[in-house]
Structure 1
């Protein structure tokens, strides 16, 4: 039952991230990617403080060991700061399709590291589900063939390295967070701490670079602020909290596979809601991925 709860949390986190990604992509063109990134972290710590106050009875955690704080800080730096920065750079250099293709290796790396570090075991049906989930994501992402126009040689290699760096950062984020959650520490408190560390790091960098006023001005614009707050609540706040619940209550390999589904969910959204043509390859990949998700939920 605990494992099922963790898997449900992971899948819901994927839904949250798919929704927030649509919001952030819409406002990113108006305010700038890095500005939105800093703004969403600031909004998310605000949302998390309110959630923590309602659910835990106090606005912030007050019971944590230095060891747990160290693991959560490391998780935040590796995942929310370095990993996300490398992923965004990969988006610029090689585009979203190839970047997400490289990020889809996260479940494989996560499962291997969890096997090595936590002695987690996967049943044959779960291994099959992971394979189907990853395979479906790959089929969807590879729907458009070829590299971005004009991208060759050294720049392409650097972009690939940044993409892998983003994937490694995500895996390191999950693994290090699990060390802090292994004794049943509150996932919401862990999310609050990780987000605060990222806020301090990202806004500290903005202060050094002299970009605080520009960021605040862009984020409070009428056509940006309300959507930024909504996206932060859905994605970095609720989504990340659910991801911590997933890591705490399910195998890392299964949880990371379910949390890798946002690109597939977005394909379904475009095809069924927006009525955009997605192609037979995307349909096959979507069916295969959700078939894998079904296998993960089977007893």
Structure 2
């Protein structure tokens, strides 16, 4: 049985893991608007070069009107709205806590796929999805990012200090709200992408979405601060380096792989496998950030991996 769609979705999860690390670093140094605009400009450039090499056509001039319509809307929803919410959540409550909310995206995507696309999931798909989501939740909660009944909240950005849960809820209410809105936006973007892409080339589809995102953030930036956040960000070379690395593995490789996956398997399955990011981030957390991993986190990772394996049976 051919599982190229599932493999592409898993590759997307690896890309998102790396991009989450890079973009969180960048977002803590410069504005969220600047990070998003720069990453999409870089991504658009990468995609144009790739399309020229693979298709002989730098721009998606051969895209049907349906693809332009839905992929443009998908780019605005998925890049401008969703990523603005997500990056603000990264900056406020950290990528690990934000990932807990994004774990809800597969369920929402599957529900939207059932309602609007008429997709069906067999019992193996449902079991696998449940295992993956459970593994993600166990992993993130066990890490201690959010302890509802505990005395303090750990695993958060240093600026929070030793906050009590009640204090954190008051200080970071917007972060939790934005993380949840990003989850919903991601699910809607998945459905719009699948509806618009169909049999069209994934690289060209990514180009349309990136172009829509660039336009959206330019308008957003000049309406909010007349572009001052963009010019200020250009002075921070470290932030630009992290943005450059994140753009390669995220909007370029990650998005292209996700579009490839969307063409070859169901939207809920793709979203579930992409949702492995909070589990996959554990190894770099140990190796790069010297974090201690609890046995429960390892158990959650194993459960999530076992759930993703169900899709290959």
Same fold? TM cut 0.5: yes
- Which residue is 2:178 aligned to? 162
- Which residue is 1:257 aligned to? 272
1:201-220 per-residue CA deviation (whole Å, 9 max, x = no partner) reads 10222233445365245346
Aligned ranges 1:98-247 → 2 under 5 Å: 98-143=97-142, 144=144, 145-146=146-147, 149=163, 150-152=167-169, 156=173, 159-182=175-198, 184-210=199-225, 212=227, 214-216=229-231, 218-219=233-234, 221-247=236-262
- Quick check: 1:268–1:286 contact (8 Å CA) kept in 2? no
Deviation of 1:186 after TM superposition, in Å, equals 0.9
Three-state SS of the structure 1 residue aligned to 2:6 is helix
- Quick check: 2:96–2:278 contact (8 Å CA) kept in 1? no
Q: 1:236 & 1:217 partners in 2: Cα distance?
A: 23
272-281 vs 104-113, which moves further = 272-281
Deviation of 1:87 after TM superposition, in Å, equals 2.5
Three-state SS of the structure 1 residue aligned to 2:13 is helix
Deviation of 1:155 after TM superposition, in Å, equals 6.4
Deviation of 1:168 after TM superposition, in Å, equals 1.0
Three-state SS of the structure 2 residue aligned to 1:62 is coil
- Quick check: 2:134–2:304 contact (8 Å CA) kept in 1? yes
For these two proteins, the number of residue pairs brought into alignment is 295
1:30-57 per-residue CA deviation (whole Å, 9 max, x = no partner) reads 3343322221111111111111111111
Q: Which runs of 5+ in 2 are unaligned?
A: 154-162
Deviation of 1:116 after TM superposition, in Å, equals 2.4
Q: 2:47 & 2:305 partners in 1: Cα distance?
A: 30
Judging changes above 3 Å, is the alpha-carbon distance between structure 1 residues 221 and 155 closer, same or farther for their aligned structure 2 residues? closer
Q: Which runs of 5+ in 1 are unaligned?
A: none
Structure 1 vs Structure 2 CA RMSD: 2.3
Q: 2:169 & 2:30 partners in 1: Cα distance?
A: 30
TM-score (norm 2): 0.85
Judging changes above 3 Å, is the alpha-carbon distance between structure 1 residues 283 and 159 closer, same or farther for their aligned structure 2 residues? same
Choose from 292, 299, 305 the match for 1:284.
Answer: 299
